[in-house]
Amino acid sequence: MTELRYQIVIAGPGSVGKSAITLQFISQQFIRDYDPTIEECYKKHIYVDSEVAYLDILDTAGQEEYSSLRSHHFQNGDGFLLVYSVDNRKAFEEIVDFHDEILRAKDADSLPIVLLANKIDLPKNNHEVSKKEGKDLADSYGYPFMETSAKNVINIEESFAECVRSIRKERAALEQKSGGKGKKGKGKCLLM
């Protein structure tokens, strides 16, 4: 039986709109004021490809002073929305560090991650990162890429759905690899 619960972690540098994306998804409202997040948890269920998905969503802090707390949360995530803002070149460059931190925390080479270029509603002359740069980065990791706007509700629900699809794909591959035993079939014990 397919596991229907998904722990999705929203990660990325500060001020890129992680909380705005999350709140738009959870409550269909756009928050204009920036209030740095330490950690916020939400629950929601959606249908992805006609199958229910129960989401536990963790909106994490982007500030460096919370990196140890972040790493702990990364360990528990099933999938990740990795967010940068198109109007912030430095945030885009920091995505590599966040990506590496997630892989270290999970002790993995690859994970269900969707790369999000947020704030695409801003005027083009404010964009410091092109769509091609974001897509090229996602392609280099083998991850899906989406452009989002919490303000204009662009690809908000779709980004969570894509993350669920990525998690399902990984779970199916693990189950097939372990001979149908799922995650439990991964390790073997020898009692003597």
Distance of alpha carbon 141 from alpha carbon 149, whole angstroms? 23
- Position 190 in a domain: no
Q: What is the pTM of this model?
A: 0.87
Q: Number of structural domains, the chain?
A: 1
- Position 32 in a domain: yes
- Position 192 in a domain: no
Distance of alpha carbon 103 from alpha carbon 121, whole angstroms? 30
What are the tokens at 187? 């390790």
CATH number for the domain harbouring residue 171: 3.40.50.300
- Position 117 in a domain: yes
Quick: pLDDT tens for 85-129: 999 999 999 999 999 999 999 999 989 999 999 999 999 999 999
- Position 127 in a domain: yes
Q: Which domain holds residue 161?
A: 5-185
Quick: pLDDT tens for 68-85: 566 777 999 999 999 999
Quick: pLDDT tens for 33-71: 766 555 689 999 999 999 999 999 999 875 554 555 667
For residue 67, the model assigns a pLDDT of 55
